[in-house]
Amino acid sequence: MADDARLRFMDAYFDTLDDNKDWNTRLTVLLKRDDGSLVAQGESYGDEFKDHESLRLVTLGFVPPYINGIPITKGEMRGGTTEVIIEAKGDDTWRFDYRLDLIYDDTDEIPVVYKWVGNELHSEDNSKVFKSFNLS
């Protein structure tokens, strides 16, 4: 996988463990380059992620200036981060596994998959940063 391969698509998937995300808790997913600049984001609001529910999709979309066609390369994503944020109305705890799929133009539509298991967010501790994509 060459460092100059361009990022084409990004999808975030969540498996809820034993504590759901309430329907009125906003979920935001951010994808950032190695320099911290925002590349893409996605949101879900109005949907409950029920206990033991698998593979809830949050589609990420490029943000300006990348939405205008400026490419993001694999090299720029090396050391990048993704952040999951919840904004609860009241008290909410959500336990989940997180999977991020990145598709580059050199992978024949086969995603590079990253997984983080056993995560928890709640009203008082509402964000988590997942670091450093190993793209070797």
Convert 104-131 to b/e letters by CB count within 10 Å (16 or more is b). bbeeeeeebebeeeeeebeeeebebebe
User: Closest Cα partner for 25 from 91, 71, 78, 113?
Assistant: 91
pTM for this model (two decimals) = 0.89
Rounded average pLDDT over 125-134: 83
Tens digit of each residue's pLDDT (9 = 90 or more) over 54-113: 878 888 988 877 766 788 888 888 889 999 999 998 899 999 999 999 999 887 778 889
What one-character-per-residue DSSP string does 103-130 give? EETTTTTPPEEEEEEEEEEETTB-EEEE
Give residue-wise pLDDT tens across range 13-55.
999 999 999 999 999 999 998 888 899 999 999 889 999 988 7
